[in-house]
Amino acid sequence: MALGFVVMLTVLVVCIGLLSTCAICLDRTAISRTAAELDNRLLEVAPYLGAAALFFLAKRATTGQSERISYALDWDITAEIYAVEGEFVAVLQDIVPDVTVGFFSAMYMFGFPYLLVTAPILYFLLPSQRHLKELLIAYLLNYLIGTIFYTLFIAYGPRNHLSSVTGLMYDFYPQAQTMTSAVSSNTNVFPSLHTSLAVVVLVFAWRSRSEYPRWFPLASFVVSCVVFSTMYLGIHWLIDVLAGIVLGVGAVWIAEWIVTRAEGRSGPVPIGDESEDGITSEVSD
């Protein structure tokens, strides 16, 4: 029951965020154009959607085997991470006011899925599907590489390794642990996929700022909060976050190369007149 409630709450918050973002970044022309071209757009991105779907189905089917391999290898790198990083997360929790726990817990729980869902919807609403194709491949690469690391290495987060670090989110909102434990093991720490996937969204928001000028500052704020929350809440080490940043940027670069090879184009197709595409632009006061 607790898991169902958390899932429903997450879906509700993400839908509200998605609709609000679309209201800020789009006008009705984009929606009507997408509706008119829906079949063609779905057909164009179908191979990428299919590849992503097959991967996640395979990942779900092999999750148990992956964990068994990880424990059989028993390559626990937690002590090595702590030896390099020390008490950084503990110090972070000491200096950040406790009043922010609720906010950063919400950003971790709801801001992250909001980013993952909103970005592909926005790019599907563009006339060119190039951004969406690259984004889907970047998502897939993050999970693929992350799964490999999680299978090879065992790593526990600061809240599980240090008595000086508290699992602030789980103390503030215990129901959150029900959902996080359902989708991830507490040894899935290095690298931080919350960080890497959030960085992927941020890079694409930067690259699409001419099409969506309001999306980039909004995504920047949410991404910054999500990345910070992973450390402040005691879930990830700073080293996990740095590795996640490298993974995210690298995944975007590889995704661009893959789509370029597949599509035979060097970059996104120029959009042309933004007013005709239904994309709002910044208007000076």
Cβ neighbours around 64 below 10 Å, total: 9
Q: What is the pLDDT of residue 249?
A: 96
3-state secondary structure of 154: strand
Per-residue confidence (pLDDT) for residue 172, from 0 to 100: 60
Q: What is the pLDDT of residues 67-101, one digit of tens each?
A: 788 888 889 999 999 999 999 999 999 999 989 99
Q: How far is the C-alpha of 189 from the C-alpha of 236, rounded, in Å?
A: 6
Who has greater pLDDT, 248 or 63? 248
Residue (of 103, 107, 105, 104) closest to 174 by Cα position: 105
Paired with 154 in beta bridges are: 76
Contacts of 3 (CB under 8 A, 6+ apart): 178, 179, 182
Judge whether residue 278 has pLDDT over 60. no
DSSP class of residue 96 equals S
Q: Give the Cα separation of 250 and 245 in Å (integer).
A: 8
Q: Is the pLDDT of residue 178 over 80?
A: no
Token digits of residue 259: 């789509």
Banded model confidence at residue 284, pLDDT cuts 50, 70, 90: very low
In this predicted model, what pLDDT tens digit does every residue of 31-70 receive, in sequence order? 888 888 888 989 999 999 998 889 888 877 777 787 788 8
Residue pair 157/237 in contact (Cβ under 8 Å)? The answer is: yes
Q: Report whether pLDDT(6) > 80.
A: no
Q: What pLDDT does 69 receive?
A: 87
Backbone torsions φ then ψ of 154, nearest 5 degrees: -100, 130
Range in 229-233, 240-244, 263-267, 275-279 the model is least confident about: 275-279
Confidence of residue 274 (pLDDT cuts 50, 70, 90): very low
Tell me the C-alpha distance between 167 and 249, whole Å.
28
Of 101, 95, 123, 108, residue with least CA distance to 222: 108
Please state, rounded to an integer, the average pLDDT across all residues of the chain.
Answer: 85
Q: What is the pLDDT of residue 36?
A: 87
What pLDDT, on the 0 to 100 scale, is given for residue 283? 38
From the list 237, 243, 241, the residue with the least C-alpha distance to 87 is 237
Q: What is the pLDDT of residue 122?
A: 95
Q: Are 154 and 74 in contact (CB under 8 A)?
A: yes
pLDDT given for residue 72 in this prediction:
86
- % of the chain surpassing 70 pLDDT: 86
Q: Is the preceding peptide bond at 158 cis, omega within 30 degrees of 0?
A: no
Mean pLDDT along residues 7-16: 90
Confidence of residue 170 (pLDDT cuts 50, 70, 90): low
Whether residue 285 is predicted with pLDDT greater than 70 in this model: the reply is no
What pLDDT does residue 184 have? 63
Give the separation between CA 130 and CA 106, rounded to whole angstroms: 32
Spatial CB neighbours of 147, under 8 Å, sequence gap ≥ 6 = 59, 66
Sort 261 into a burial class: Cβ within 10 Å, 0-12 / 13-18 / 19+. Answer: exposed
Residue 169, sorted as left (phi over 0), alpha (psi -120 to 50) or beta, turns out to be alpha
Reported confidence tier of residue 27, pLDDT bands at 50, 70, 90: confident
Closest CA relative to residue 129, chosen from 271, 284, 276, 272? 271
Residue 54 CA to residue 113 CA, distance in Å, equals 20
What's the distance, CA 6 to chain centroid? 19
Higher pLDDT, residue 214 or 167:
214
Each residue's pLDDT tens digit, 93-125: 999 998 999 899 889 989 999 999 999 999 999
**pTM for the structure as a whole:** 0.86
Identify the three-state secondary structure at position 1. Answer: coil
